[in-house]
Amino acid sequence: MFIDSHCHLNFSAFDEDLDAVVHRAVEAGVDRIIVASVDEESSRKAVELAERTPQIYAAVGIHPQDAQKYAEESIRIFQDWARHPKVVAIGEIGLDYYRDYNPKELQVRVFKRFVRLAKETGLPIIVHNRGADSDVMAVLSDPRFKSVTGVFHCFSSDLSYARNVLQRGYLISFTGIVTFKNSESAAILRELPEEKLMLETDAPLLAPEPHRGKRNEPAFIKFVAEKFAEVKQISLDEIAKITTQNALRLFPKLRNAFD
Ligand code: NI
């Protein structure tokens, strides 16, 4: 059994055939899917999907590229969602200096606000970090946020940063990028302990080989898992078991809601 720890079934790419997509995921052994959000609208949709689909769980938050949409009065709705039994995390939140859509100060302010929400609600965070290694770490190193835990999703930094992330108690997840030729992710993956890793698709983006360039979906998690197994030289079953345990440990509500 697999857990897709991060995808966006709340995006319009799935409007036409969501049920079929979930069905294919179940057929492929994916029994839990975390739908991550980028703004208030996608958060609402993630919660709705979680309410009507047993396999789906939600993460709510505002992506750095959507930081301009944040308004302090809207935090209340996120606080309400955080109490929902199927809302398992705050995310995706973080900093993205690669595309530079929003001023850094604004991104940092919104990121901090949602880390604070995570602290207040006891939920883990799903971190998006693109080209902002030191600023992301600066926010998370704030002593006020010591109790906060989470995952660095779609990890794209270097090995020394990965070690720093693990040392802070965070997990790391990789997408289909690990299956790409010339990807540096596989070399980093090789060096990291299995008990700190999770699988994700980030669907509809980043489809793994052999579907690269097409719409991604949670059923394709098996290609990511196969690459993990190859790189770590352990069986696919073992990868499924370990990454599932890691996800259940990080996201306690994922466990409770299912039992
Ligand atoms: Ni994502």
Q: 44 alpha carbon to ligand 1 midpoint, in Å?
A: 16
Cα distances (Å, whole numbers) of residue 118 to 25, 40, 41, 171: 29, 16, 19, 16
Q: 112 alpha carbon to ligand 1 midpoint, in Å?
A: 19
Q: 211 alpha carbon to ligand 1 midpoint, in Å?
A: 18
What's residue 69's pLDDT? 92
Of all residues in the chain, what percent are helix, strand and coil, respectively (each to 5)? 50, 15, 30
Strand arrangement, sheet containing 125-130: 2-7, 30-35, 56-60, 87-96, 125-130, 150-152, 171-174, 197-199
Q: 36 alpha carbon to ligand 1 midpoint, in Å?
A: 6
Q: Which helix (H) or strand (E) holds 117?
A: helix 104-121
Q: 6 alpha carbon to ligand 1 midpoint, in Å?
A: 6
Closest of 34, 128, 129 to residue 88, by C-alpha: 34
What's residue 259's pLDDT? 45
Q: 26 alpha carbon to ligand 1 midpoint, in Å?
A: 21
Tens digit of pLDDT for each residue in 35-55? 999 999 999 999 999 999 999
The mean predicted confidence, pLDDT, of the chain is 95
Percent of the chain's residues with pLDDT above 70: 98
pTM of the model: 0.96
Q: 253 alpha carbon to ligand 1 midpoint, in Å?
A: 20
* Protein residues with C-beta less than 5 angstroms from the ion ligand 1: 202
Q: 191 alpha carbon to ligand 1 midpoint, in Å?
A: 24
pLDDT(211) > 90: no
Q: 43 alpha carbon to ligand 1 midpoint, in Å?
A: 13
Tens digit of pLDDT for each residue in 148-189? 999 999 999 999 999 999 999 999 999 999 999 888 899 999
Q: 38 alpha carbon to ligand 1 midpoint, in Å?
A: 8
Tens digit of pLDDT for each residue in 64-122? 999 999 998 899 999 999 999 999 999 999 999 987 679 999 999 999 999 999 999 99
Q: Which helix (H) or strand (E) holds 56?
A: strand 56-60
What's residue 257's pLDDT? 54
The one-character DSSP state at 234 is S
Domains of the chain with CATH codes? 2-256 (3.20.20.140)
Closest of 190, 155, 149, 160 to residue 174, by C-alpha: 155
